[in-house]
Structure 1
Amino acid sequence: MAVTPNNKAEENYVYYNGRKLRKGFTTGTTATAATVAALRTLLNQEPQATVTVQAANGKVAIFDVEQTDFDAQTASCAIKKDGGDDQDATDGALIFATVKLRKDNEITLDGGKGVGRVTQEGLANQVGMPAINPTPRRVIKAAARKELGPDRGADIVISVPEGERIAKLTYNPKLGIVGGISILGTSGVVTPMSEESWKHSISIEMNIHRERGDESLVLVPGNYGEDFAIQEMAIPADQIVQMSNFVGYVLHETQRLGFKRVLLVGDLGKMIKVSGGIFSTHSKDADARAEIMVANLALLGGVPLEFLREIYGSLTTISMIKKINEAGYQAVYQLIVDKIKQRAEKLLAHREPQVTIEAVIFSRETGLLAATQPLAELTREWGQ
């Protein structure tokens, strides 16, 4: 576990839904600590039990050195990634730094086993470079310079033995980063339950699509939407981006990045919220599914009050769909999907460029519910 000089200070914690959660440190800060430990070991020719470094935001972190191997020419040290109470795939991974002194004063930094390589344009690093992002790259080199002084140089290689396995649990495969994880962190500190890093990853993925020339994008809330788009509409997986609950954020990003067309494909349980103008669809932010459904059913006309009350009392959209289908009020789905389109386009209406939006809603139990255009037309336009 990484600690700070005052480990009980409030600045080391964040409160989320009433819980007190401990902050941690990024892979970038961990790699910095491993680098400093390896350089001190090599320069002093003795192993280090602990090492103290500064994260990118200046926060002091103290790490235990987990493994050390050295001789007169090289040294390698491992530090365990401590993400605090954040549920991160890299938490607990050993991050190694191997250092070798140079005959000049240059400092080089590369990625070894388990650190990914960039294969697509649109990321912070150029194609072919190791996935060590600019901020941790700068911090690692600055920390190394402090240890080496102005006249000595070193070759530094960061590696993560379990990195290739861990990377499968991250966004890296979608981002075109192959062979391992990324060394990340703009602040150097991990804030548990942080949505900003998640949004940032989605933006990076979208930017890759623009860099390759895409002007259209299929957005889905999650795996169910992606499966429907692929299996029912023959849309290639590489045209699809998962937006999670961040519908409004991602729609604004499509406009910022210059996409011209967007197709929203999602389960009614998520997408009905968008039809009511709710653009952050997590249940912690808003849940008016029953109210929205009742309002749209009422707009159909002729729906008995007792049926509206029954729908309002339903606990899930699955039970609503069953009752609606049995009663023959399926026309409500078209009202809802048309409002999804209207709400989404209205959200982006007052900025350029204009983005044309279509939408498809479905149920995992019964399949397609409605679309803003006939599904066959959308499939021809967007599918393979």
Structure 2
Amino acid sequence: MSSPVAQPTQPQGYTVPVWLTAAARAALLTLRAEPWQRLQPLWLDPNNSNPENGPPPALVPVEAAAPLADGWVLAMAHCDPGPEVLDLTRGLALWVLLRWRQGPGDWLELRAGEGVGVLQASGEPCLSAYARQLLECNLRPLLPEGRCLELVVVIPQGRRLAERTSNAAFGVVDGLALIGTQAEVQRSAAPDQLGLALAELRERCGAEDFGGALVLVIGANGLDLAQQLGVPPQLLLKAGNWLGPLLVAAAEAGVQRLLLFGYQGKLIKLAGGIFHTHHHLADGRAEVLTALAALAGLGGAALQALHDAPTVEEALAQLDRLDGPRAEQLRQHIAAAVERRSLAYLARYGQEQMAVGAVLFDRSRRICAAGPAGLEQLTAMGMRP
């Protein structure tokens, strides 16, 4: 595919689909017995991959590409989310195995190898629409007429790293999802992401139809679930990890009722007074969970098992199997603690007029707990946990 002069690698870094596509393109060139370049020219906007219009392709680095036995080609890239971005994909090795596919079917058959997340309901690779479009606009023009491809993606560390994400809360198991809705990484832990959220908050609160209520959803997964549950779109505001400043700004902007809606393994940090929730900066989830469980009367081996579980989700699942009513009570304690600590945080900044509710969901996409204020706000929106 001929192209104009490509751009150097962007300093802000890229999402996983970009690194996947770069490695796959290098593999395809090798499969065609052509030389591959370390810097692969990629169209990053699937809707604008015409050399006559728009910006030229960007150059994205690939580590290696080489032929293997049985017609396979192996290529590898290392993910880089960019400078000053706290993201678990930094330095992550991503491998692709590519070969010609025989027989009828789509031009590309993509399979999940080790460490790549699959949808629990179907076993299909968890791949965003943007990732599919990126592969198509960069690979398909290089395909000889009538040829099809078989692509296997492997992320050697993916299964282990997935335990540090909320993928399982949305039915994605066995590894990291190949998701991303754009080329550049959204810097949820960076100050500029806070600025964007604050700007959107001010716009919402300044609208003529603003009624004083807001639902602060934690991350893209929380936004997706809230929309599916029927929360009115005009109430939804997606938050990154800067929850403390957003709480204060919401109160200052005139929000009267704020609902925190998020995954239980994330929101539990607020119950411990941690108001910047990125895992690189603060964790303490096991300690917060254990303290709340002890205050709720749990002790002995059950309390130790709770502390030693690999995730909050697994800890509560273990307690569910041991003592379902106690697990339900603990979830309610967590939600109530999130509300109390949020109000205390606001009071430190002289903002005590805003009501704060908390609603938690689990990995089965089920609302599993709501604090007193959260339950009241859910009921006002016509929903029940």
TM-score, normalising length: structure 1: 0.53
Aligned to 1:99, the other structure's residue is in SS state strand
Q: 1:89 matched to which residue of 2?
A: 88
Among candidates 132, 143, 150, match of residue 148 of structure 1: 143
Among candidates 58, 61, 70, match of residue 61 of structure 1: 58
- Kindly indicate whether the alpha-carbon contact (under 8 Å) linking 1:112 and 1:159 is maintained by their aligned counterparts in 2: yes
- Kindly indicate whether the alpha-carbon contact (under 8 Å) linking 1:218 and 1:264 is maintained by their aligned counterparts in 2: no
Say if 2:155 is the partner of 1:160.
yes
Among candidates 198, 221, 231, match of residue 201 of structure 1: 221
Q: What residue identity is the alignment partner of 1:116? A: G
Q: Aligned-pair distance for 1:240?
A: 7.7
Q: Does the C-alpha gap of structure 1 residues 128 and 208 become closer, same or farther in structure 2, counting only changes over 3 Å?
A: farther
- Kindly indicate whether the alpha-carbon contact (under 8 Å) linking 1:172 and 1:182 is maintained by their aligned counterparts in 2: yes
- Kindly indicate whether the alpha-carbon contact (under 8 Å) linking 1:217 and 1:239 is maintained by their aligned counterparts in 2: no
Task: Select between 99-108 and 217-226 the one with higher mean Cα deviation.
Answer: 217-226
Deviations 1:295-351 (A, max 9, x none): 9xxxxxxxxxxxxxxxxxxxxxxxxxxxxxxxxxxxxxxxxxxxx8458745873x4
Bigger Rg over Cα: 1
Q: What residue identity is the alignment partner of 1:100? A: R
- Kindly indicate whether the alpha-carbon contact (under 8 Å) linking 1:84 and 1:192 is maintained by their aligned counterparts in 2: no
Aligned to 1:272, the other structure's residue is in SS state helix
Q: Aligned-pair distance for 1:116?
A: 1.7
Q: What residue identity is the alignment partner of 1:67? A: A
- Kindly indicate whether the alpha-carbon contact (under 8 Å) linking 1:23 and 1:83 is maintained by their aligned counterparts in 2: yes
Q: 2:97 matched to which residue of 1?
A: 98
Cα distance in 2, alignment partners of residues 218 and 97 from structure 1:
32
Identity %: 20
Q: Does the C-alpha gap of structure 1 residues 37 and 262 become closer, same or farther in structure 2, counting only changes over 3 Å?
A: farther
- Kindly indicate whether the alpha-carbon contact (under 8 Å) linking 1:217 and 1:240 is maintained by their aligned counterparts in 2: no
Pairing 1:43-58 to 2, within 5 Å after superposition: 43-56=32-45
Cα distance in 2, alignment partners of residues 99 and 190 from structure 1:
26
Q: What residue identity is the alignment partner of 1:66? A: E
Report the RMSD for the aligned CA atoms in angstroms.
4.3
Q: Does the C-alpha gap of structure 1 residues 292 and 73 become closer, same or farther in structure 2, counting only changes over 3 Å?
A: closer
Q: What residue identity is the alignment partner of 2:61? A: D
Unaligned runs of 5+ in 1: 13-21, 121-126, 211-215, 242-260, 274-280, 282-286, 296-339, 357-384
Q: Aligned-pair distance for 1:66?
A: 0.7
Q: 1:370 matched to which residue of 2?
A: none
Q: What residue identity is the alignment partner of 2:63? A: E
Q: Does the C-alpha gap of structure 1 residues 167 and 230 become closer, same or farther in structure 2, counting only changes over 3 Å?
A: same
Among candidates 55, 75, 78, match of residue 76 of structure 2: 78
Aligned to 2:74, the other structure's residue is in SS state strand
Say if 2:109 is the partner of 1:112.
no
Deviations 1:330-377 (A, max 9, x none): xxxxxxxxxx8458745873x4x2457xxxxxxxxxxxxxxxxxxxxx
Deviations 1:162-210 (A, max 9, x none): 2222222222244443322111111121032357896113345779999
- Kindly indicate whether the alpha-carbon contact (under 8 Å) linking 2:8 and 2:59 is maintained by their aligned counterparts in 1: no
- Kindly indicate whether the alpha-carbon contact (under 8 Å) linking 1:262 and 1:355 is maintained by their aligned counterparts in 2: no
Cα distance in 2, alignment partners of residues 218 and 37 from structure 1:
38
Task: Select between 139-148 and 27-36 the one with higher mean Cα deviation.
Answer: 139-148
Q: What residue identity is the alignment partner of 2:184? A: V
Say if 2:366 is the partner of 1:266.
no
Q: What residue identity is the alignment partner of 1:49? A: R
Q: Aligned-pair distance for 1:29?
A: 1.0
Cα distance in 2, alignment partners of residues 354 and 47 from structure 1:
55
Deviations 1:91-131 (A, max 9, x none): 111211211012347321111121122225xxxxxx21122
Say if 2:20 is the partner of 1:31.
yes
Aligned to 1:265, the other structure's residue is in SS state helix
Q: Aligned-pair distance for 1:266?
A: 2.0
Q: Aligned-pair distance for 1:49?
A: 2.5
Aligned to 2:23, the other structure's residue is in SS state helix
Deviations 1:33-92 (A, max 9, x none): 111110011113434322111224667431222122215822111111110132110111
Aligned to 2:81, the other structure's residue is in SS state coil
- Kindly indicate whether the alpha-carbon contact (under 8 Å) linking 1:104 and 1:152 is maintained by their aligned counterparts in 2: no
Q: What residue identity is the alignment partner of 2:79? A: K
Q: 1:5 matched to which residue of 2?
A: 7
Q: What residue identity is the alignment partner of 2:115? A: G
Unaligned runs of 5+ in 2: 1-5, 49-54, 198-216, 231-260, 270-284, 299-305, 307-311, 318-331, 354-370
Q: Does the C-alpha gap of structure 1 residues 345 and 167 become closer, same or farther in structure 2, counting only changes over 3 Å?
A: same
TM-score, normalising length: structure 2: 0.53
Q: What residue identity is the alignment partner of 2:37? A: Q
Q: 2:125 matched to which residue of 1?
A: 130
Aligned to 1:190, the other structure's residue is in SS state coil
- Kindly indicate whether the alpha-carbon contact (under 8 Å) linking 1:218 and 1:262 is maintained by their aligned counterparts in 2: no
Aligned residues: 252
